[in-house]
Structure 1
Amino acid sequence: MEGGDSRDHNRSSESTTATAPPTETSPTVGNEVLESNDPSLSSQLLPAMQNLQNALLVSLPVKVSTVNTMAVLAASEPPFAGAFHAELLPSLQGIFGFLQKTGSPFMINPYPYFAYRDDPRPETLAFCLFQPNAGRFDANTNINYMNMWDAQLDAVKSALKSAGFADLEFVVAETGWPYKGDPNENGASVDNAKAFNGNLVQHLRSMVGTPLMPGKSVDTYIFALYDEDLKPGPESERSFGLFHPDLSMTYDVGLKKSSSSGSSQPTPSSPSKKPATAWCLPKPGATDEELQANLDYACSQEEVDCTAIQPGGVCFEPNTVRSHAAYAMNQLYQISGRNSWDCDFRQSAILSSDNPSYDTCVYPGS
């Protein structure tokens, strides 16, 4: 199942928001209660939510909800076929009605990491990390999904529609990627965690949305501020923290702000990795097949304008895959945050301080 079954990954540590948080306080009742396989808890969930809502409304403008994993979905691939487990629908229908009546969001925890852990193919990793890939085609909607995040969120949207609550808002209560894991935990590394969280932040800030929810950025909370170092289970369960206890960053995803201006001030983990003025270009050994995939991916992004490399464009000549890919890859790098991981393209790109512009063809620069 797309997104993986994370029934055994209950979380309680703090998260940090990647988009604007909801305007009202949103306390949650329980954590992944419907996935606990305890019918007595499931039957008590809605009454508990109603009681808390009634108690808090006396003094606070609250919107009470409860948090769920992607395991509440029986199907999520392709996204159009998203549907909740039939045995959970009676409980969910009551909860959805309560959320709709109170204006509260449905809360879900999509983790592309678990999808890659269960399907450790290189193409799956690229799909999960927002990196160049061939995409996954949904024949029902004729949409070619370019990343797991959009596919997971649209699967939730489809499931809500199928349940009769198409307009119910939802919030991502948790998502993240571990920077360390046991030897058998595929993909748990600093580079992958940095790529996923960094690219996710840029994707959300772009306000592009998803194919089924265009122009909208779902409120999203990144798990977690700090490691849960006493948590049982595999090493990855204790390795989601963005910060150490001394407030130094485990790695930088562009969320740090300066105290003076409040503007985003990413602190590179290694200043030597990115020249002061840099362009993202193909590596000398990159193949035409790799570069064609990079070209297709970059030009498929809404923010990238590939007009200049079309016939008659100022950068069309020389008419080679390498030249066109260089222009598109660099443009995507420049608008994605100019972090070192934005110029990776599955290790087929490199940052250069040499300006590749020529004649009237101008490459955007840092």
Structure 2
Amino acid sequence: MAGQQLQGAASMLTLAVIIGAFAFVPTTVQSIGVCYGVLGTDLPSRSEVVQLYKSKGINLMRIYYPDKEALAALRNSGIGIILDVGGVDVVTSLAASPSNAASWVRDNVRPYYPAVNMKYIVVGNEVEGGATNSILSAMQNVNSALSAAGLGGIKVSTSVRFDVIANSYPPSKGVFKDAYMTQIARYLASTGAPLLANVYPYFAYRGNPRDISLNYATFQPGTTVRDDGNGLTYTNLFDAMVDAIYAALEKAGTANVMIVISESGWPSAGGFAATIDNARTYNQGLINHVGRGTPKKPVALEAYIFAMFNENQKTGDATERHFGLFYPNKSPVYPIRFS
């Protein structure tokens, strides 16, 4: 999951004092999913997890590698999934030769599709450093392998951190920091696939609480920020961050590429501003909001909350182990409605 997001997402804002309490107003949510991580010692079985998704009306899931047991449990469930290929070593292997990609598709996609509704194959999650040079070749090889297997309806993309964007404030200034992202965006435009992005207002707020209001970061009312570059106004940080990515796509000549939010969430414990109240407020706000899209793209936005469970084997900051909507015993960390 996420490391540090860009801390300056709204660093120049002078924010008003927020008055009043926020009342959730549910809207029709067309595409809200939850990421399913398995880095815990006490998590329920894969089949129990699929039943929990269904019982809560969660119709989209992201899994981070071809987990055979999970894929088997997902058969005929109707749940649409994002399937990650796995770690950087897998991305490098897929980039190395078309035959490696063909073998990967043969072993991890063909045995399950269409009984398992695979929406996107994700080639790399938050890949950094020299390995970024392998992403595009790996995507091309996987796309070719899917087409050769008669599975060309599954879209291939990659999932990026928000800090692939430079100059993110105001949103209209957004631009890709590195050339490889422009190449990836142009390839996505040619295939009709979306760009998957992990967008965490939590990390931006944690990095700059002086200039970013907690209410602005958690979908609560009271702040309106005008972007003179595009003439749009923003009432929450999530929209501003997503529209900065859309601005970067435009500058790359790929304004037709849509965005899927492949991760977003707020921790309920373990660090600064990581409380149950803040986590519930953010995640419920996200669910209620994404059906409206963003000021720049006011169409329903597909988004995946991170994550289904608290995972006690995650490394890094203590917050990393407290992003779950549910405890491993399947009881909710806090009340939340998915529709």
- TM-score interval (norm. to shorter): 0.5 to 0.7
Structure 1 residue 17: Cα displacement: 6.5
**How far, CA to CA, are the matches of 2:175 and 2:308 in structure 1?**
32
Larger radius of gyration: 1
Matches within 5 A, 1:153-172: 153-172=242-261
CA contact (8 A) 1:65 1:107 kept: yes
Match of 1:5 in 2: 6
Structure 1 residue 115: Cα displacement: 1.0
**How far, CA to CA, are the matches of 1:169 and 1:142 in structure 2?**
21
In structure 1, what residue type is equivalent to 2:5? G
2:186 to 89, 93, 97: 97
TM-score, structure 1 as length reference:
0.60
1:27 to 96, 108, 121: 121
1:209 to 286, 293, 304: 293
Match of 2:311 in 1: 228
In structure 2, what residue type is equivalent to 1:165? T
CA contact (8 A) 1:21 1:219 kept: no
The runs of at least 4 consecutive aligned structure 1 residues that moved more than 6 Å come to 14-20
Match of 2:74 in 1: none
**How far, CA to CA, are the matches of 1:18 and 1:126 in structure 2?**
28
Match of 1:145 in 2: 234
**Gapped regions of structure 1 (runs ≥ 5):** 256-263, 265-366
1:219 to 290, 293, 302: 302
User: RMSD of aligned C-alpha atoms?
Assistant: 2.5
CA contact (8 A) 1:175 1:222 kept: yes
Aligned length: 237
**How far, CA to CA, are the matches of 1:95 and 1:142 in structure 2?**
28
1:194-216 CA-to-partner distances (Å, cap 9, x unmatched) read: 00001111112xx33221112x1
Match of 1:56 in 2: 146
1:135 to 224, 230, 253: 224
CA contact (8 A) 1:18 1:220 kept: no
Q: 1 or 2 for the larger relative contact order (CA 8 Å, sep ≥6)?
A: 2
Match of 2:172 in 1: 80
CA contact (8 A) 1:53 1:64 kept: yes
Question: What percent identity do the matched residue pairs reach?
Answer: 38
In structure 2, what residue type is equivalent to 1:13? G
**Gapped regions of structure 2 (runs ≥ 5):** 8-34, 39-52, 62-78, 82-116
CA contact (8 A) 1:75 1:81 kept: yes
Structure 1 residue 191: Cα displacement: 0.3
99 and 186 in structure 1: CA distance in 2 versus 1, 3 angstrom threshold: same
TM-score, structure 2 as length reference:
0.64
SS in 2 for 1:25: strand
**How far, CA to CA, are the matches of 1:171 and 1:21 in structure 2?**
13
175 and 92 in structure 1: CA distance in 2 versus 1, 3 angstrom threshold: same
**How far, CA to CA, are the matches of 1:232 and 1:24 in structure 2?**
28
**How far, CA to CA, are the matches of 2:215 and 2:196 in structure 1?**
26
Structure 1 residue 110: Cα displacement: 0.7
Structure 1 residue 154: Cα displacement: 0.9
Match of 1:251 in 2: 334
Structure 1 residue 138: Cα displacement: 1.2
**How far, CA to CA, are the matches of 2:325 and 2:207 in structure 1?**
24
1:295-317 CA-to-partner distances (Å, cap 9, x unmatched) read: xxxxxxxxxxxxxxxxxxxxxxx
**How far, CA to CA, are the matches of 1:142 and 1:93 in structure 2?**
25
Structure 1 residue 21: Cα displacement: 5.8
| Residue 197 (str. 1) matches residue 283 (str. 2) | yes
SS in 1 for 2:255: coil
Structure 1 residue 59: Cα displacement: 3.9
123 and 169 in structure 1: CA distance in 2 versus 1, 3 angstrom threshold: closer
**How far, CA to CA, are the matches of 1:97 and 1:217 in structure 2?**
23
**How far, CA to CA, are the matches of 1:123 and 1:108 in structure 2?**
21
